């Protein structure tokens, strides 16, 4: 990235440039997943995770009265591992396999190449936006999608709101700077007072855009959105901006071209947006509860039966990472968004 000295840009533009610049962007030049990458996602920990997502899709499809054709859209597919395992699971359900039209929304050219290679034996379409989807019932799955979208941040000082910006001091040296802003213009985009009861605001303009598009499609054609991401459910928003390099947190102002930048999802904010878009939150829980309700423990028992101890131990070690509250079990939340008249609670009810 090349910027002139003293150039100031908004935080979301800085993150977008850092992650998605065609030549230097973090997601555009290498594989960030796995031991050799900077972090690892649930689908790459255990196939059990993707199998449970596949089962949830099958059950929700049945709740939609088994449409003969429907869209299954993965928002950001990473290295393609989750959709691969979902498709393998669908092999056991021939009817849904024949009914399903798979699309992947992916911005990263590098990750798209990984996905194409991994999914070469399956009929998958890659899309650049959501506008060209067929008018069919649509099931959207977003695993660690929204956390990677660029965010804006605002802080309240003496009853005035300031937006966090990035100032370039020289070539690879940056600092935060704050500029007075009109918060009412931001609230107009949301259609509600996002600043009410807040001293700090953090949101993604792209998240708002995608939620609007997804909501329009669901309202028009039926379906739902499953969000799995790390985040919080408290009403008060907080500063969750983080940089991750080699599986460790790093300083966002340093080494920014070679680190992942993400944030924790405010699920309360998503809930408010969804209600404004005339949909409902059909359920919200943590990853542990969701996976256990779908039968991940029983599935682990079935596949580990008659295996040697070392392989059985490996299955349960990976399972622990997914559902233990000290790992991903509590930190990761699962939210289901659907039409107001849809009654489907699997994975969420007690």
* CATH at 22: 3.40.50.12710
Mean pLDDT of the chain: 93
Which one, of 152, 150, 142, lies nearest residue 256 by Cα? 150
- 97 within a domain of the structure (yes/no): yes
Residue 100 binned pLDDT confidence (cut-offs 50, 70, 90): very high
Q: Is residue 297 part of a domain?
A: yes
Structural domain total, the chain: 1
Interatomic CA distance for residues 76 and 327, integer angstroms: 23
Q: Answer whether residue 198 is part of any domain.
A: no
More confident residue, 314 or 349: 314
Residue 161 belongs to some domain of the structure: no
Q: Is 208 helix (H, G, I), strand (E, B) or coil?
A: helix
**Phi and psi (nearest 5°) for 41?**
-105, 165
- Residue 19: name the closest of 266, 270, 244 by CA: 244
Are the CB atoms for 183 and 200 separated by under 8 Å?
Answer: no
Query: Which structural domain range is residue 241 located in?
Result: 16-150+205-338
In a domain, 255, yes or no: yes
Residues in contact with 309: Cβ distance below 8 Å, sequence separation at least 6, in sequence order = none
Distances (CA, A) of 34 to 78, 79, 147, 224, 336: 11, 10, 18, 29, 27
Closest by CA position to 174, among listed 166, 165, 184, 182 = 166
CB contact at 8 A, 348 and 336 = yes
> What's this model's pTM, rounded to 2 decimal places?
0.94
pLDDT confidence of 37, banded at 50, 70, 90? very low
Task: Give domain status of residue 266, yes or no.
Answer: yes
- In percent, how much of the chain has pLDDT > 90? 82
93 to each of 59, 98, 302, how far by Cα in Å?
11, 9, 19
pLDDT level of residue 25 (50, 70, 90 thresholds): confident
Residue 176 backbone dihedrals phi, psi, to 5 degrees: -85, 145
Kindly tell me if the per-residue pLDDT of 169 is higher than 90.
no
CA distance 230 to 266: 9
Give the confidence band of 10 by pLDDT, cuts at 50, 70, 90.
very high
Please tell me the distance from the alpha carbon of residue 229 to that of residue 200, in angstroms, as a whole number: 21
In a domain, 115, yes or no: yes
Residue 137, domain member (yes or no): yes
């Amino acid at each position: 990235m090349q910027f002139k000295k003293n150039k100031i840009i908004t935080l979301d533009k800085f993150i977008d440039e850092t992650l998605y610049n065609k030549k230097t962007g973090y997601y555009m030049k290498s594989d960030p997943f796995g031991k050799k990458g900077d972090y690892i996602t649930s689908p790459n920990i255990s196939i059990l995770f993707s199998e449970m997502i596949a089962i949830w899709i099958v059950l929700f499809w049945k709740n939609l009265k088994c449409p003969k054709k429907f869209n299954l859209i993965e928002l950001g597919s990473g290295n393609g591992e989750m959709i691969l395992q979902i498709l393998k699971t669908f092999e056991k359900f021939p009817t849904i396999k024949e009914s399903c039209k798979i699309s992947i929304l992916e911005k990263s050219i590098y990750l798209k190449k990984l996905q194409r290679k991994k999914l070469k034996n399956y009929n998958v379409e890659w899309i650049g936006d959501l506008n060209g989807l067929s008018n069919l019932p649509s099931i959207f799955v977003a695993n660690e999608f929204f956390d990677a979208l660029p965010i804006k941040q605002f802080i309240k000082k003496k009853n005035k709101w300031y937006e966090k910006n990035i100032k370039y001091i020289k070539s690879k040296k940056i600092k935060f700077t704050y500029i007075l802003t009109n918060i009412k213009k931001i609230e107009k985009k949301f259609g509600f007072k996002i600043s009410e009861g807040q001293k700090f605001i953090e949101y993604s303009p792209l998240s708002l855009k995608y939620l609007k598009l997804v909501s329009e499609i669901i309202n028009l054609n039926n379906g739902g959105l499953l969000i799995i991401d790390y985040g919080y459910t408290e009403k008060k928003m907080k500063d969750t901006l983080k940089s991750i390099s080699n599986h460790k947190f790093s300083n966002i102002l340093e080494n920014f071209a070679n680190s992942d930048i993400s944030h924790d999802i405010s699920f309360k904010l998503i809930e408010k947006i969804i209600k404004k878009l005339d949909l409902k939150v059909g359920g919200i829980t943590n990853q542990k509860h969701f996976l256990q309700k779908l039968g991940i423990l029983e599935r682990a028992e079935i596949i580990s039966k008659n295996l040697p101890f070392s392989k059985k131990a490996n299955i349960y070690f990976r399972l622990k990472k997914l559902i233990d509250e000290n790992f991903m079990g509590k930190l990761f939340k699962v939210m289901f968004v659907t039409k107001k008249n849809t009654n489907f609670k699997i994975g969420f009810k007690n």
